[in-house]
Amino acid sequence: MRGKQAPRRVLLPDPKYGNVYVTKLVNYLMYDGKKSTAQAVVYKAFDLMGEKTKQNPVEIFDKAVKNAMPALEVKSKRVGGANYQVPTPVRGDRRYMLAYRWIIGAARTKKGRSMAEKLADELVAAAKGEGDAVKKKLDVQRMAEANRAFAHFAR
């Protein structure tokens, strides 16, 4: 690797809830640098979640992300001409990134409603331990469990 590693940028907490993780959600949702649009979608989704569940939307969001974060994943490793799916633990930042990606991806695949409604539904479902994002997490963990025999290839 040439040169220096890029320094980590410090994210400012979002203006409405004062939470850095909500800012990360907005940034992952954003298309073409349209941050105000992404913020509007996230805040509308949080308002809808608050109306539906009568609970603090930030707590629901935290619970949803925790339920969607994987502990293990598989990485492809080439050993002696064969590719093995080697289970490896997931680092902290990557766990959050995967959870956000799966939640947003699951919301985007649904059709027929506004993004705010779809995101709110997916976050509520994930907080309950249901929904496509949690299903994806379970699939990834099941795959890692099935390939536990190749764990000795991990380095």
**pLDDT (tens digit, 9 = 90+) per residue, 68-97?**
999 988 888 888 888 887 888 888 889 999
Is the Cβ–Cβ distance between 46 and 56 less than 8 Å? no
- For residue 133, the model assigns a pLDDT of 92
CA distance 115 to 48: 12
Q: What is the structure's pLDDT at 84? A: 80
Model pLDDT, residue 58:
92
CATH superfamily of 20-77+87-153: Ribosomal protein S7/S5 (1.10.455.10)
Kindly report, residue by residue over 1-53, the tens digit of the pLDDT. 789 999 989 999 999 999 999 999 999 999 999 999 999 999 999 999 999 98
Q: Could you tell me the residue ranges of all domains in the chain?
A: 20-77+87-153
Q: What is the pLDDT of residues 104-150, one digit of tens each?
A: 999 999 999 999 999 999 999 999 999 999 999 999 889 888 887 87
Looking at residue 62, what is its pLDDT?
A: 93
- CB count in 10 Å sphere of residue 145: 11
pTM above 0.75, yes or no: yes
Name, in order, each residue with C-beta under 8 angstroms of 125's C-beta and a sequence gap of 6 or more: 64, 131, 132, 133, 134
* Confidence at residue 6, expressed as pLDDT on a 0 to 100 scale: 92
What pLDDT is stored for residue 125 in this prediction?
94
Total residues belonging to the chain: 155
Q: Which of 67, 82, 63 is nearest to 141 (CA)?
A: 67
Sequence-distant (≥ 6) Cβ neighbours of residue 17 within 8 angstroms: 46, 58
Under the banding of pLDDT at 50, 70 and 90, the label for residue 102 is: very high
